[in-house]
Structure 1
């Protein structure tokens, strides 16, 4: 069975301040050995803790899907035969139970084919379990730059890029900031359709003292220059990360290693807000096609590849004001007649 990293297995419910204010109907009661328990909106199932515990074989290591910043995830089969992924959240003293329930309620209403779906929850004492749809394929990072993995065709890469863009645009439409766009947070289903996961983490980890994406140095290259200074997540920072993700998918490499390989130091990239020195030089010399993953062996439509890379450059530019909104990015990706502005030179970012 394919192992799926935790960090991509679901939607965080711990970023209430990232969401638009809504009226939430809540109910609270005491149960489970005297510990506090609560209910969110009646529209989302409140599973019995014991049922989920049993479905994971009491959180047996053989069912563990991964370990991430917010806790552990397990594969589970419910009593009706449905296979799901259960996230066992780490204790978070920063959040009240009311705040958690509001987030559960809000996220339960987020449904889009390119977003991982929250199916239910369970609370016992201070422990919170979240139930998500189970996505059978691995995350995107298991198919880029990894030996002995199937090579993603150009059509598959383009569909993943477009699907991710649509999912992110929907989140922004709902006033939800993702805060941690990267390869590991893009799940691929049985048809290699992209499903964005782990949105809403940014605020939670900032309050908890850990900046999302910095726990693993490999993720630094995804963060917008302003986030390295101010730390706050914004829609524009999401767009920057998405631009870097496009470059990853087209080149077939990880962002931070790619920057090092082309002679643009990661420290310079972080402090100056420069994109990839090499990709920019290829853009100026009209040789962007040389950046496309050599594993494709030239089997890709050059014009389309250049257009997609150009969109990546436009999204991942130092000035947040010049980055287009995700709705516009989707249009540029799906409408060949939609004009793409030339990306400005990646000017130094003022500290």
Structure 2
């Protein structure tokens, strides 16, 4: 607690080597230029005369999204579908702001999405973030991030773009739908990576096998419709080729439209389907369409 009564979280980098110092400087440089309601606020940092690398942030009391989905707070059952959808929207809002500020987060994951007591989002941890010049298409850099969330094209080609965050956010969307971890070696070898598992389930039209059944997917047609639309969006975010993925701004607009039960600016009726029904592709959909799409124009 600071002298003025503010409760803070202190982040200390223990390995005081060149890499850690660079990470520390990078985080300070980036966070001090950001102001957004869904990003953690940096209060201060170590002075040049100190031997320790310390960052002092506002304290966010309600743990991480990962804690509530599959961690120590998971059994509380507090994350209803409306709360999960709002978490997705607020996270997308923060990432859209970062991208408009020419910054790529590079480590988007549920462990870096903090929650306050009202379950509002604070995106954290900018140690791996990069300032992205607006006059280039990509930055060539060695792949960094967390297994299960790293953009495969970035991993293979060493080309970092804003779409790398979009891929990672797609994994977060699947986590919010399924309550499963991004990587779990206890699952079948084809399902260890959650993104692969999700794409296979969607392509095989077995979305109901992926969704956390406590969310009411089988019981409530409105919830089923909204989750299906979010799965459609996640499918697009998880495309192997970055040019096939939507921008973060488009992701945010789509999530808000889903929350408002609207689709873009024209009215579209979403046909309610039973889990076992034959599923048709969306005619004229933005490529690539997900096999779970079912829409008809009014």
Q: What pairs up with 1:142-157 in 2 under 5 angstroms?
A: 142-146=67-71, 148-157=75-84
Q: Deviations over 1:184-215 (max 9, x none)?
A: 011011110111111341569xxx989331xx
Deviation at 1:277, TM superposition (A): 1.3
Superposed displacement of residue 141, structure 1: 0.9
**Structure 1 residues 18-67: Cα deviation after superposition (integer angstroms, max 9, x where no partner):** xxxxxxxxxxxxxxxxxxxxxxxxxxxxxxxxxxxxxxxxxxxxxxxxxx
Structure 2 distance, partners of 1:250, 1:167, is: 20
Secondary structure at the counterpart of residue 255 of structure 1: coil
- The aligned residue for residue 249 of structure 2 is 327
**Aligned in 2, Cα 1:345/1:133: closer, same or farther, shift over 3 Å?**
same
Q: Tell me, what secondary structure is at the counterpart of 1:159?
A: helix
CA distance in 1: counterparts of 2:70 and 2:24, whole angstroms = 37
Taking the TM superposition and a 5 Å limit, the aligned residue runs for 1:1-351 are: 77-90=1-14, 91-94=16-19, 104-123=28-47, 124-146=49-71, 148-202=75-129, 211-213=144-146, 220-257=147-184, 260-261=187-188, 263-264=190-191, 266=193, 276-282=199-205, 288-297=207-216, 298-299=219-220, 301-335=223-257, 336-338=262-264, 341=286, 343=288
> Structure 1 residues 106, 211: CA separation in 2 closer, same or farther (over 3 Å shift)?
closer
Q: Cα distance, 1:129 vs. partner? A: 1.7
2: CA distance, partners of 1:334 / 1:314: 16
The gaps in structure 2 that reach 5 residues or longer are 132-140, 266-284, 292-298
Q: Is the contact between residue 86 and residue 131 of structure 1 (CA under 8 Å) also seen in structure 2? A: yes
Cα distance in 2, alignment partners of residues 280 and 262 from structure 1? 18
User: 1:168 and 1:131 mapped to 2: Cα distance?
Assistant: 22
1:140 Cα deviation (Å)? 0.8
CA distance in 2, matches of 1:135, 1:193: 10
Cα RMSD (Å): 3.4
Q: Distance in 1 between matches of 2:113 and 2:263?
A: 28
Q: Which residue of 2 aligns with 1:19?
A: none
Call closer, same or farther: CA 1:164–1:110 in 2, change over 3 Å: same
CA–CA separation in structure 1 for the residues paired with 2:93 and 2:154: 23
Quote the Cα distance in structure 1 between the aligned partners of 2:68 and 2:130: 29
Gaps of 5+ in 1: 1-76, 214-219, 347-351
How far residue 296 of structure 1 moved from its aligned partner, in angstroms, is 2.0
